[in-house]
């Protein structure tokens, strides 16, 4: 992937460090415009999910963009309220209008961390997914999965920001060769008004959003901020030409509210338990 900062996955594929997430983006014109703006501004990672109900719009925007499919890293996620990851992968690629996705994740570990994995492996073996992985899995759940997997997960997509600094979980992923990927790096906007973030942004001449995204990048994660505004989509991508110094990193680290947890979500957030 030319001109992209990437991380290499266990399967040898390269995943861009920066991408666009489309959680809570309405199906139709809103989603198509967001994806189009991202691709026009150089993004090559687009992240959707069966539960988002906007895969068809993502696919239309990709086809209309003029960017060759092989240059785009496309992720979708298995909704674990369904029972057959292989069948759902077939439906996803049909909605997306593509022959494959680059990454297929279990969206969360509903029903336990291992039961769906054989179906994920079947989706990979069928050529529907070049890589497979997980999302919202804790360090303990990752270890359970590794004990039974024939194909190890390539990615664990997790809620991650200075305020949700899941350092022990990221360390567990790295120890297993699994790339951690950050969703909600801006806290769905909640973190943008924090005075510490604002002070650092003023000092480096950047926006609060850019500081939060850059922090996650410097922690070694792939990051998928969500926006529907073209100017913010462009702004969120412009984070590779500056560095946060050690003092700024330490100040942001200190905002953590999770005690650098190995868990993927707080117990109250685990709606599937």
pLDDT in tens, 6-63: 999 999 999 999 999 999 899 999 999 999 999 999 999 999 999 999 999 999 999 9
Q: Taking every pair of C-alpha atoms in the chain, what is the biggest distance, in angstroms?
A: 51
Sequence-distant (≥ 6) Cβ neighbours of residue 190 within 8 angstroms: 163
**CATH fold of 6-256:** TIM Barrel (3.20.20)
At 102 the pLDDT is 98
Catalytic residue (choose from 43, 52, 79, 183) = 52
Place of tokens 């990051």: 223
**Overall size of the chain counted in residues:** 273
3-state secondary structure of 158: strand
pLDDT in tens, 54-66: 999 999 999 999 9
Does residue 180 have a pLDDT over 70? yes
Model confidence at 2, in pLDDT bands (50, 70, 90)?
A: very low
Q: How far apart are CA 226 and CA 47, in angstroms?
A: 9
Beta-strand relationship, 132-135 and 103-106: parallel
Is 52 an active-site residue? yes
Question: What are the domain boundaries of the chain?
Answer: 6-256
* The pTM of the whole model exceeds 0.85: yes
pLDDT in tens, 102-138: 999 999 999 999 999 999 999 999 999 999 999 999 9
Output the average pLDDT for the chain.
95
């Amino acid at each position: 992937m030319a001109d992209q900062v990437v991380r290499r996955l266990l399967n040898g594929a390269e995943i861009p460090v920066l991408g666009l997430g489309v959680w809570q983006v309405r199906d139709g014109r809103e989603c198509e415009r967001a994806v189009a703006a991202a691709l026009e501004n150089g993004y090559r990672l687009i992240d959707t999910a069966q539960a988002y109900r906007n895969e068809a719009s993502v696919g239309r925007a990709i086809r209309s963009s003029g960017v060759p499919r092989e240059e785009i890293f496309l992720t979708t996620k298995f909704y674990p309220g369904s029972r057959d990851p292989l069948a759902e992968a077939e439906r996803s690629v049909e909605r997306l209008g593509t022959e494959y996705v680059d990454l297929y994740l279990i969206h969360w570990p509903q029903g336990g961390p291992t039961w769906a994995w054989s179906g994920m492996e079947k989706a990979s073996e069928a050529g529907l997914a070049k890589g497979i992985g997980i999302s919202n899995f804790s360090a303990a759940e990752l270890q359970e999965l590794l004990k039974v997997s024939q194909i190890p997960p390539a990615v664990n997509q997790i809620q991650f920001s200075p305020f949700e600094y899941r350092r022990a979980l990221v360390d567990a992923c790295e120890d297993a060769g699994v790339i951690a990927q950050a969703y909600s790096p801006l806290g769905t906007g909640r973190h943008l008004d924090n005075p510490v973030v604002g002070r650092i942004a003023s000092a480096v001449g950047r926006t609060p959003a850019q500081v939060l995204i850059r922090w996650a990048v410097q922690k070694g994660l792939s990051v998928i901020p969500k926006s529907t505004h073209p100017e913010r989509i462009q702004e969120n991508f412009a984070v590779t030409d500056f560095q946060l110094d050690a003092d700024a990193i330490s100040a942001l680290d200190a905002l953590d509210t999770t005690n650098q947890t190995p868990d993927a979500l707080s117990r109250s957030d685990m709606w599937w338990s």
